[in-house]
Amino acid sequence: PYYVGINQNLFLEASLRSSDPSLKLFLDTCEATPTRHNFTTRSYPIIKNGCVKDPTYVEYYSPYRHILRFKFNAFQFIRSNPEVYLRCQLVVCRAFDYSSRCYQGCLQRSKREASS
């Protein structure tokens, strides 16, 4: 566990342990939940499909493609235990493969039209 106060910045770094310098990391989804094993009932999206959902999220420059650095403000779920669990999904791509998910960025899902 890592302890941080409410509204304090929580800094994170994800790195790929590989000897291949041509790999790139991309943060596709990162969400928080008040329970360790249930990310479906009540979760708070920080990043979803590469799109920033939390206004306190900031990505930091990294000189290495295989390292991601970011932060967001710590929070607590209302009427809940004081613990918050994170689950992040990262994508590994070949660097400079501009057709890969790493270079597509935010993917907005189009809404379907409801028929009468």
Residue that wins the pLDDT comparison between 116 and 53:
53
Supply 106's token pair. Answer: 């935010």
pTM, two decimal places: 0.81
Q: What percent of the chain has pLDDT over 70?
A: 89
Tell me which of 108 and 92 has the higher pLDDT: 92
Of residues 60 and 109, more confidence is placed in 60
For residue 111, pLDDT over 60 is answered with no
Spatial separation of the C-alpha atoms in residues 53 and 110, rounded to whole Å: 16
For residue 69, the model assigns a pLDDT of 96
According to the model, what pLDDT value does residue 115 have? 57
In the chain the domains, ranked by start, together with CATH numbers, are 8-102 (2.60.40.4100)
Can you tell me the distance from the alpha carbon of 104 to that of 59, in angstroms, rounded to the nearest whole number?
A: 16
pLDDT tens-digit series, residues 16-42: 998 788 999 999 999 988 887 766 777
pLDDT at 80: 67
What distance in Å separates the CA atoms of residue 42 and residue 66, rounded to the nearest whole number?
31
- The pLDDT tens digits of the residues spanning 38-70 come to 667 778 899 999 999 999 999 999 998 899 999
